[in-house]
Structure 1
Amino acid sequence: MAWIQINTVVKEALAEPLSDALMESGACSVTFEDAKDQPIFEPEIGTTPIWSTTKVVGLFDAETDAKQVIETLTNLLPEISAQHYKIEQLEDKDWIRAWMDQFQPMRFGDRLWIVPSWLEPPQADAVNLMLDPGMAFGTGTHPTTALCLTWLDQHAPEGLNVIDYGCGSGILALAANKLGALTVTGTDIDPQAILASQQNAQRNQADIPFALVKDFDSEPVDLLIANILAGPLKELAEEFDRLLKPGGTLVLSGLLATQAKELQRHYQSIGIELDTLKTNEEWGLLAGTKSC
């Protein structure tokens, strides 16, 4: 099926109104893109990141009258003149196949592989996680996920009880399970993450219970790993302390390397020494133990 895109670049305040106008004008979907290379490292939880200068793109069926759409848009949002909109034809191709082709098997550490569920594992005798990225964060491509997976490969949680806090696609919970953990549980604030995690657990024949944070509780465990953001990592310090056994290990990622010292000081104040820092690009991972 062929498509067209209608797009323009606007200031932050107009991004959401334009998105609404595009949907009202018949768009199948609307996406936001960074128009000026302005990375957003830590958006507030539950929000959609919007850049100060944002490219807003509406996707339409190729049979759509683009000029009529733009006329409708200018009536709905007269702040944006018609000449600012661009119309682009999209190549007619198999978009699902193009999306799938983006993902290839990835190796972390010595023996851990993340393999898209539609591909064969490169090494049948390795520790292979068959993963469907779905709509949840966590495919192994982000530096923080890679840091966590490599740490797990190097510190296999054999015989340990583990919590994956902020499970996303369930990738870290699955890795812990495959690497010999005694029990693994996972939690997230996003229902889509719970669904994706459950589906990936079934795909890997792994018995891992996942629950929304509001429904989650656990006895203290040997290892808690959280790949979220620096702000929530700081806010959750007392909860992590409660969920961790004395002498247990805490692994935190999702933080920028420049945020590590502040988090180390904060956790030290409650008796958790995060004395290991690993970095990948500008991102960091902290690991350490809770005092006995």
Structure 2
Amino acid sequence: MPWLQLIIHSTRAQASAIEEALMDVGAASVTLQDDADQPILEPALGETPLWDATRITGLFEADINTKAVSLELLAQLPQEPLNLKWEQLEDKDWEREWMASFQPICCGERLWICPSWKEPPEPEAVNLMLDPGLAFGTGTHPTTFLCLQWLDQQSLEQAALVDFGCGSGILGIAALLLGAKQVIGVDIDPQALLATRENAGRNGLAADAMPVFLPKDAPQTSVDIMLANILAGPLVELAPLLTSQVRASGLLCLSGILASQADAVMSAYPAFDFDPVAQKEEWVRLTGRKVR
């Protein structure tokens, strides 16, 4: 289906009103983007961040009356100096575009992450066949890659793990394929739990090999390894819970952390003796052993 997009350059103060007005005049979706190279890498807890200069894009079906929509927007926002720009959006099969860009990834000596629709480049390797669906985690992001690389280096035979913030299930499933006995997956997003179940089945794993739970339903257990690839703020808040579930001499692997946040996160886990920090781009992975 062909589409038109309406682009409006906005300030932080204008953005919410413009977003609401676009939905009122029939936009199928509204996207807000940075309009001045001002990165916001991690919001504060409970905060919905916006950029000082925000580009707002409303998506409309191609048969929309652009003049009528423009006039209605101007009438709804008489106090806002609006510069409206209509563009035709190229008609593509966006799902196929994304599928073409997701290629197999080597994550160490043994482990490959492979799109479920492609043949593994090394059939004899440990190949995790993945379709992330709507959940986070393909191995392409530095935080996920760093965790997968660490798992590839571990001896996981018969280990029990928690994958907290499991997303697509990629870390927990990798651990199972590398020899772990069981992984408990935990995520706040029901879509992530569904994606994890489907990806586990796609890799020939039994349903009870990686049971998944919302945090409120997750069992309080004691495991050999705790994996948590989320964000620095939640990692600090969750430190008592995550620490309590790692047995004596157990391992911790944390990511989703900017290099500038590493010390603050490590200080929230005093029970662990941390390894040297591993870094990829601006992101880091923290690993350590429970010593007290």
Aligned to 2:52: 52
Give the share of equivalent positions with the same residue, in percent.
51
Aligned pairs (5 A) from 1:141-290: 141-206=140-205, 207=207, 208-268=210-270, 271-290=271-290
How far residue 86 of structure 1 moved from its aligned partner, in angstroms, is: 0.9
The residue type paired with residue 76 of structure 1 is: Q
The secondary structure found in structure 2 opposite 1:70 is helix
**What 5-or-longer segments of structure 1 have no aligned partner?**
none
How far residue 69 of structure 1 moved from its aligned partner, in angstroms, is: 1.3
* Alpha-carbon RMSD: 1.7
Tell me, in whole angstroms, the C-alpha distance in 2 between the residues paired with 1:66 and 1:17. Answer: 19
Aligned to 2:72: 72
How far residue 35 of structure 1 moved from its aligned partner, in angstroms, is: 1.0
Q: 1:144 to 1:21 in 2, by over 3 A?
A: same
Check conservation: 1:267, 1:274, Cα contact below 8 A: no
How far residue 15 of structure 1 moved from its aligned partner, in angstroms, is: 2.2
Q: 1:45 to 1:113 in 2, by over 3 A?
A: farther
Q: 1:102 to 1:77 in 2, by over 3 A?
A: farther
The secondary structure found in structure 1 opposite 2:269 is helix
Tell me, in whole angstroms, the C-alpha distance in 1 between the residues paired with 2:255 and 2:28. Answer: 35
TM-score, with structure 2 as normaliser: 0.93
Tell me the number of residue pairs that the alignment of Structure 1 and Structure 2 aligns: 289
Q: 1:26 to 1:196 in 2, by over 3 A?
A: same
TM-score, with structure 1 as normaliser: 0.93
Tell me, in whole angstroms, the C-alpha distance in 2 between the residues paired with 1:217 and 1:85. Answer: 52
Q: 1:47 to 1:191 in 2, by over 3 A?
A: farther
The residue type paired with residue 203 of structure 2 is: N
Check conservation: 1:249, 1:287, Cα contact below 8 A: yes
Check conservation: 1:257, 1:282, Cα contact below 8 A: yes
Aligned to 1:62: 62
Q: 1:49 to 1:205 in 2, by over 3 A?
A: farther
Tell me, in whole angstroms, the C-alpha distance in 2 between the residues paired with 1:48 and 1:118. Answer: 36
Check conservation: 2:222, 2:247, Cα contact below 8 A: yes
The residue type paired with residue 238 of structure 1 is: P
Tell me, in whole angstroms, the C-alpha distance in 2 between the residues paired with 1:196 and 1:48. Answer: 26
How far residue 44 of structure 1 moved from its aligned partner, in angstroms, is: 4.0
Tell me, in whole angstroms, the C-alpha distance in 2 between the residues paired with 1:136 and 1:49. Answer: 21
How far residue 264 of structure 1 moved from its aligned partner, in angstroms, is: 2.1
Tell me, in whole angstroms, the C-alpha distance in 1 between the residues paired with 2:248 and 2:18. Answer: 52
